[in-house]
Amino acid sequence: MEKVAKRGGVVLLVLLAVLLLSFPVKAQESDAVAAPDSILVFYYPPGIRMFKTKYAENTCSLHVLRERLRGFKRGKNVLYVDGYSGSCKRDASNRRMAFRRCNNLKGYFIDNLGLRERDFKTVNHPFAHPALGEVVTIGFSPSAVVSVPVDSLISDEGLSANDLSENSLSNDNLYDNGVKETPTVTSTDVEIREPESPKEEKSHMCAVEDAGTEKAVRLVRVKTNILAWGAAIINIAADFQLSRHISIELPVMWSPWNISSRHSLKVIALQPECRGWLGKPGRGHFAGIHASVAWYNLRNGDDRYQWCGRPLLGAGVSYGYALQLWGCLGLEFTIGAGWANMRSNHYYNIADGAMIDRSVTNYFGIDRIGISVCYDIPLKGGRR
């Protein structure tokens, strides 16, 4: 009996030890679960601004975000976005890279998770995260201030700490709770674009991004000239963006009709133009240089003129202004003047009229005028 009692006591002691040891394990398992206000991390390769779902742990972070958004109240809750970039040589370039990464990631969330621009508050940091590196973090509450030593922000040009404070850039894209960002060195040759307002967000798919080294949205604008339609000339044109301030327009005009036996114009014409824009292509003022090519048959009273040997050739300059109406629709006003050379056969304007003579005419004056209705088509691709 004593042996049985001893064995029973040993078993009880072992069970008690197992129970006591199990409590810390459960506590550790519970600690491993992410707290409600913990951040989610989305990683980026150095120098890359496009979000890659299968890079590093991004797939896992997306899954966790989808689960946590089930309790997200739109209009009341806010996602706090922090972008970090330290792979560029200049602080201004790092800030630009962080800004584009944040915008790219928010665009993915808007398209795939049903979020809106107003659901985000964003801060762009011109340095890599001290612990995580090249990342964009998402939090359900403002994250702690991440700072770096002032000495690490001094540029290679030898700026002092005083120069740093005097020439530092302010970031308007900060949390409303007063969190401030570490000042950075200015760079006069790199333009820093501040985040768009909610009004700009509505038409962000029709806007053109600033220049960069990665793929970006390019503008293609399709248009038709109302004034040409008034002259019974079918016309359509496409304006292609080539760079930050340069675009090329390719218009085609065609009139196959004889409006009357006394006055009419049959024509097929091309008038390509290279344009320089003061701002983004498709917005505001522009100046252009164009060339003209046309095959024509003109009736004018008792005379008829028809091209011969070669088409009309010309060149000129123009000025215009593009106005955005709403969404992707806009208006464009343009006027131009130049020179045109016409080699024509001159006929009597009657059926089977005899040829009178052959002439070469040089024209100087207005050769381009229009009020066009435009539609913008954003295309992704190409290097700026």
pLDDT band for position 150 (cuts 50, 70, 90): very low
pLDDT of residue 165: 37
Give 19 or 108, the one with higher predicted confidence: 108
CA gap 88, 85 in Å, rounded? 7
Please compute the mean of the pLDDT values over residues 166-172 and round it to a whole number.
38
pLDDT of residue 99: 93
| Percent of the chain whose pLDDT exceeds 90 | 34
Which of 367, 284, 378, 279 is CA-nearest to residue 331?
Answer: 284
CA gap 344, 308 in Å, rounded? 5
Please compute the mean of the pLDDT values over residues 244-267 and round it to a whole number.
89
Q: Please give the CATH topology (third level) of the domain spanning 218-380.
A: Porin (2.40.160)
Q: Residues 41, 57: contact at Cβ < 8 Å?
A: yes
What DSSP line would sit under 226-283, residue for residue? HHHHHTT-EEEEEEEE-SSSEEEEEEEEEE-----SSEEEEEEEE--EEEEESSSTTS
Which of 208, 217, 213, 247 is CA-nearest to residue 380?
Answer: 217
Please compute the mean of the pLDDT values over residues 41-57 and round it to a whole number.
87
CA-based torsion, 149, 150, 155, 158: positive or negative:
negative
Give 51 or 169, the one with higher predicted confidence: 51
Q: Residues 296, 258: contact at Cβ < 8 Å?
A: no
pLDDT in tens, 348-363: 888 888 888 888 999 9
Please compute the mean of the pLDDT values over residues 329-340 and round it to a whole number.
95
DSSP 137: E
pLDDT in tens, 286-325: 999 999 999 999 988 888 888 888 999 999 999 999 998 8
pLDDT band for position 142 (cuts 50, 70, 90): confident
Please compute the mean of the pLDDT values over residues 255-259 and round it to a whole number.
86
Does residue 182 register a pLDDT over 70?
no
Does residue 117 register a pLDDT over 70?
yes
Give 117 or 174, the one with higher predicted confidence: 117
SS3 for 299? strand
Where do the structural domains in the chain lie, given as residue ranges? 40-202, 218-380
pLDDT band for position 52 (cuts 50, 70, 90): confident
Q: Which of 23-32, 143-152, 247-256 has the lowest mean pLDDT?
A: 23-32
Give 14 or 308, the one with higher predicted confidence: 308
pLDDT averaged over every residue in the chain:
76
DSSP 313: E
Region of residue 365 (left: phi > 0; alpha: psi -120 to 50; beta: else): left
Which 3-state string (H, E, C) describes 26-67? HHHHHHCCCCCCCCEEEECCCCCCCCCCCCCCHHHHHHHHHH
Task: Sheet containing 120-125: give its strands across.
Answer: 40-43, 135-139, 79-84, 120-125
Please compute the mean of the pLDDT values over residues 342-346 and round it to a whole number.
91
**CATH code of the domain made up of 40-202:** 3.30.1330.60
**Through-space distance between the first and last CA atoms of the chain, rounded to whole angstroms:** 91
Which of 182, 9, 2 is CA-nearest to residue 91?
Answer: 182
Does residue 31 register a pLDDT over 60?
no
